[in-house]
Amino acid sequence: MAGLLPLVLNPAHRPSAYGSVFKTHGRLHIPGILTPASGQALYQALTSAEDWTRSIHVREGEDLDISVKELESLSPEERATLERSLAESSSDSLQYIFDTVRISAEIRAGRPMAEPMRAIDDFINSAAFLEFVGQVTGDDRLAFADVMATRYLPGHFLTAHGDENPREQRLYAYVLNMTPVWRADWGGVLMFLDEDGHVAEGYIPAFNALNIFSVPQTHAVSMVTRLAQTPRLSITGWLHAGA
């Protein structure tokens, strides 16, 4: 995979101008967050990524992370068996299924990571990005972010949750969307739920758009339908306070 061009925030944005909206709603959708060249470079890095893992989590604590390359090498019978086992999980127990590259976790563990993925981690943890989010949220506690690439294919989803994890001091979640064309009826919508379980607001994964929201906040990603003509690609993670 070729190296990634330096990623640059779009200088047209004035982060302090978003503060009142974020304070009122606790979430924000910012289109055109990167310069056009940076957006295209990041998109190319994600479409060229090879080390995807199919990540599946079941509420009872049964987790499965399996290399997509390994999945593709299974025989039709083996894949059918795996798919049947997932289908037998109740809708109340299966919490998510999507493809990921756990960039920050792999780097911290000392495992090899492609240079473009390292460059993405460096950008999200750069002073420029952290200061931008700090001005948007009005929060000066931001110390670092964790970073992973995600790819949602038809049938992939993420059920409602709030991202709470006091031990990790998560302050905000972010999603940097990298899908050039998307329609709401393809699914994959980031949905925010109210106290009655209704969808209060939803963001489609618009290209080069940054979503930021406070933690905890109940949200979900609707299932990607078979109508989707392209993968739903993003960089996502949490912004943390320091120790």
Report the predicted TM-score, pTM, of the whole model to 2 decimal places: 0.90
| 138 domain-assigned | yes
| 233 domain-assigned | yes
pLDDT score, position 93: 55
| 165 domain-assigned | yes
| 74 domain-assigned | no
3-state secondary structure of 41: helix
Contact between 205 and 179 (Cβ < 8 Å):
yes
- Give the position of tokens 């409602």: 160
Give 110's pLDDT tier (boundaries 50, 70, 90).
very high
Give 243's pLDDT tier (boundaries 50, 70, 90).
low
pLDDT tens profile 19-45: 999 999 999 999 999 999 999 999 999
Token pair listed for 79: 């894949």
What is the rounded average pLDDT of the residues 62-79?
81
- Answer positive or negative: Cα dihedral of 203, 118, 143, 127: negative
| 197 domain-assigned | yes
Beta strand 53-58 with 27-30: parallel, antiparallel or unpaired? unpaired
| 1 domain-assigned | no
pLDDT score, position 168: 82
For 61, 131, 157, 196, 207, the CA distances from 186, given in Å and listed in that order, are 29, 34, 12, 25, 15
State the residue range of the domain holding 219: 15-50+100-241
Q: Residue 108: which CATH number?
A: 2.60.120.620
pLDDT score, position 96: 84
Provide Rg for the chain, Cα atoms. 18
| 60 domain-assigned | no
Contact between 208 and 127 (Cβ < 8 Å):
no
Count how many domains the chain has. 1
Token pair listed for 43: 């998109």
| 204 domain-assigned | yes
